[in-house]
Amino acid sequence: MKKKTLISLLCAGVLTVGAFTGLTGFADKKDAEDQVTGTGEYTLLSTADVDKAEEVTTDGTITGVVDVAAEVMPAVVSITNKSVQEVQDLFSMYGIYGYGGRNGNGRTYTYESESCGSGIIIGQNDEELLICTNNHVVEGATEITVGFVDDEICQAAVKGTDADNDLAVVAVKLSDIPDATLDQIKIAQIGDSDQLQVGQQVVAIGNALGYGQSVTTGIVSALNRTIQMDGYDNTKLIQTDAAINGGNSGGALLDMNGHVVGINSAKVAASGVEGMGYAIPISYAKPILEDLMNKKTRTETVDEEDSAYIGISGQGVTSEMSELYGIPQGIFITEVAEDSPAEEAGLQKGDVITKFDGSSVSSMTDLKDMLAYYAAGETVNIAVSTADDGEYESNKIELTLGALSDYQQDNQ
């Protein structure tokens, strides 16, 4: 019998969901202030930008895996994601009365699940500590907590996500972090994945299986690999044989100078398969993360009277649909309400919304979840792809959100 190979994200229910690595330099919390430019925008420091980095050995060089681990661990955090899952009751669905029970409808139940992963401190502003991870680590979260090197645990909020590239940035309020913890944490340093060579030694750090941060080592097995999975269709990945397991997702792939060169994100899981993990190259991820770092952190849903709406109906476009029909991934608009904010902004039936305020959207549920944090009257940027002679052209438009209460009143 032919064995089936499975390429999977590094998350598995209660035990997993992963880690990310840092991008900004072996610096203490004070050095993080240098990451804010004069314009108030964040940039990630490269190795050449860090002139205050601490010496990692007596002669200022890293000599082995032990040194890499010792220096990077203070920049690594654990991330716990609590979410609500929905399941169908199979007993009522297929029970003694046949499919769907007596009335043909199975019952749906929800339950709270918890998954664990890791992240890396990549900067701070006047109010927040910024941490990078994978999108699938925080996707669907109702509550996120971060655990630091001294085991201190703090609440966190999603600052920005990019599902198309499986990247995310979360924020922790500095006021919630004890001074003793701030004294111990560090900011990791970004490397240059474009300079990687096959056979080069690398180190992976992540919260494997949710047991806590662990360290593995191996080599770069191959470069520019592609895998068939949502969020990775167009990404040329790093392949490594450093042991990567569930919980390493989003974790650090480091060179022997302790610089981040990749974000561990996926692996091949099959009987007889070993040592085939994949990481997002850091040079590819850097500009995306910088955009996410500059988004406004939204931590509380708006009051009901301030609830916003756009005025569209739509259908999510999956990667399979995108490949089959040549439609960009996002929300395919099936209807635009008359006199709605969407109509005023120029949205039309057949357009595809790919991003809302800089974050990727792939379903109406995604859009509704995001709108819960925006108030009527706010103006947001929306990325839209419009068909032109069979080819889709991407544009950015500004849309002022309408008041949901007014819409409901007009449509009673």
Decide: residue 175, CB within 10 A, 0-12 exposed, 13-18 middle, 19+ buried.
exposed
319 in catalytic set: no
CB 261 within 8 A of CB 273: no
Catalytic residue among 78, 115, 249, 359: 249
Catalytic residue among 34, 115, 118, 136: 136
3-state secondary structure the chain: CCCCCEEEECCCCCCCCCCCCCCCCCECCCHHHHHECCCCCECCCCHHHCCCCCCCCCCCCCCCHHHHHHHHHHHEEEEEEEEEEEEECHHHHHCCCCCCCCCCCCCEEEEEEEEEEEEEEEEECCCEEEEEECHHHHCCEEEEEEECCCCCEEEEEEEEEEHHHCEEEEEEEHHHCCHHHHCCCCECCECCHHHCCCCCEEEEEECHHHCCCEEEEEEEEEEEECCCCCCCCCCCEEEECCCCCCCCCCEEEECCCCCEEEEEEEEEECCCCCCCEEEEEHHHHHHHHHHHHCCCCCCCCCCHHHEEECCEEEEEECHHHHHHHCCCCEEEEEEECCCCHHHHHCCCCCCEEEEECCEECCCHHHHHHHHCCCECCCEEEEEEEEEECCEEEEEEEEEECEEHHHHHHHCC
Catalytic residue among 166, 255, 357, 366: 166
Q: Which of 336, 357, 358, 340 is nearest to 402 (CA)?
A: 340
d(CA 411, CA 391): 36
259 in catalytic set: no
Residues known to be catalytic: 136, 166, 249
